[in-house]
């Protein structure tokens, strides 16, 4: 059986991003996205934030509409997940915020970012250090646009895909900080009753939502960049989720052992008392 090449795999993502075969092919992977793919993800998210479709609720932002499209796709992939989400409208907004945060990273999570201006004491023992403003997606992208003559979204994506930035040109801070943030995010999902297997469905649902929102602008390079980014995020979220589950299991086991030990001691104490009375 032959293995499909990358171009065919990407094309299949574009044709049907939420189909079961695609869902089974997007696995968590520790290989991080390239700088070019990070740029494409950022360009894409900015573009998503600009697109309003005819059927959109005027009171809903473009990114919020993306979140709603994501959950529509997710529940088509696995209807059994729907009971886990009691307020889809609120969840969709939270998802959009999370994607915005991750898309800016690791710019916002580097050890020196956001930087503080020189601090001084206000006389009450309190530091008055001020944090620099965290750059938005648009600001990050505007800086990148200065390096290219691209004027349209398609041109920006093509330019980024064709670029080959050197390692020393990467100004994104410390990617390990993003790694820890993703694991922390995964750990939090334990308390939402999320199982590790659910993470494999997120990628196809994201791609489906992107296709819905972008239409013809859902390019092969966009599908490939978001697939790689999701696989990396899911890999570290899965580690965080499984670590939290193991810790909770150990905590419950320890508590159970202590309770059993306490019951046993009480039982033996009662026997001793009976012996004394006799």
CATH number of the domain within which 68 lies: 1.10.490.10
Q: Determine the average pLDDT of the residues in 22-33.
A: 67
Give the per-residue SS3 of the chain.
CCCCCHHHHHHHHHHCCCCHHHHHHCCCCCCCCCHHHHHHHHHHHHHHCCCCCCCCCCCCCHHHHHHHHHHHHHHHHCHHHHHHCCCHHHHHHHHHHHHHHHHHCCCCCCCCCCCECCCCECCCCCECCCECCCCCHHHHHHHHHCCCCCCCHHHHHHHHHHCCCCHHHCCCCCHHHHHHHHHHHHHHHHHHCCCHHHHHHHHHHHHHHHHHHHHHHCCHHHHHHHHHHHHHHHHHHHHHHHHHHHHHHHHHHHHHHHHHHHHHHHHHHHHHHHHHHC
Total domain count for the chain?
A: 1
Answer whether residue 266 is part of any domain.
no
Q: Of the segments 22-31, 127-136, 200-209, which one has the largest average pLDDT value?
A: 200-209
Answer whether residue 129 is part of any domain.
no
Residue 157: domain span: 28-110+134-164+173-255
Answer whether residue 144 is part of any domain.
yes
Answer whether residue 22 is part of any domain.
no
Q: Determine the average pLDDT of the residues in 196-206.
A: 90
Which residue in 78, 62, 65, 69 sits closest to 20, CA to CA? 78
Q: Determine the average pLDDT of the residues in 25-34.
A: 76
Report the alpha-carbon distance of residue 70 to residue 268 in Å, rounded: 59
Answer whether residue 17 is part of any domain.
no
Number of CB atoms found within 10 A of residue 54's CB: 4
pLDDT for position 165 = 59
The better pLDDT of the pair 63, 180 is held by 63
Is the confidence at residue 263, as pLDDT, over 80? no
* Least reliable range by pLDDT among 92-101, 159-168, 218-227: 159-168
Answer whether residue 42 is part of any domain.
yes
Q: Give the angle 25-30-35 at the CA atoms, nearest 5°.
A: 100
The better pLDDT of the pair 57, 174 is held by 57
Answer whether residue 234 is part of any domain.
yes
pLDDT above 90 coverage of the chain, percent = 42
Answer whether residue 270 is part of any domain.
no
């Amino acid at each position: 059986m032959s293995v499909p090449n990358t171009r065919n795999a990407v094309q299949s993502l574009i044709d049907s991003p939420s189909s079961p075969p695609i869902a089974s092919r997007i696995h968590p992977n520790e290989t991080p996205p390239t700088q070019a793919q990070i740029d494409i993800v950022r360009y894409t998210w900015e573009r998503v934030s600009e697109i309003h479709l005819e059927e959109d609720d005027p009171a809903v932002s473009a990114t919020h509409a993306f979140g709603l499209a994501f959950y529509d796709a997710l529940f088509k992939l696995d209807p059994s997940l729907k009971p886990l989400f009691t307020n889809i409208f609120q969840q969709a907004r939270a998802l959009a915020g999370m994607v915005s945060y991750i898309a800016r990273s690791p710019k916002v999570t580097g050890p020196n970012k956001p930087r503080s201006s020189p601090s001084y004491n206000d006389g009450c023992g309190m530091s008055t250090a001020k944090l620099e403003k965290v750059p938005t997606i648009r600001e990050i992208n505007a800086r990148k646009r200065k390096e290219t003559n691209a004027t349209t979204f398609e041109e920006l994506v093509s330019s980024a895909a064709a670029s080959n930035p050197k390692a020393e040109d990467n100004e994104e801070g410390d990617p390990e900080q993003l790694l820890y943030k993703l694991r922390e995010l995964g750990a939090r999902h334990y308390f939402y009753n999320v199982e590790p297997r659910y993470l494999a469905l997120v990628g196809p649902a994201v791609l489906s939502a992107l296709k819905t929102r972008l239409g013809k602008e859902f390019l092969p390079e966009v599908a490939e960049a978001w697939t790689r980014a999701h696989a990396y995020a899911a890999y570290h979220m899965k580690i965080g989720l499984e670590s939290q589950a193991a810790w909770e299991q150990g905590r419950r086991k320890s508590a159970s052992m202590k309770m059993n030990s306490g019951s046993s001691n009480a039982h033996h104490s009662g026997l001793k008392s009976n012996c004394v009375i006799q």
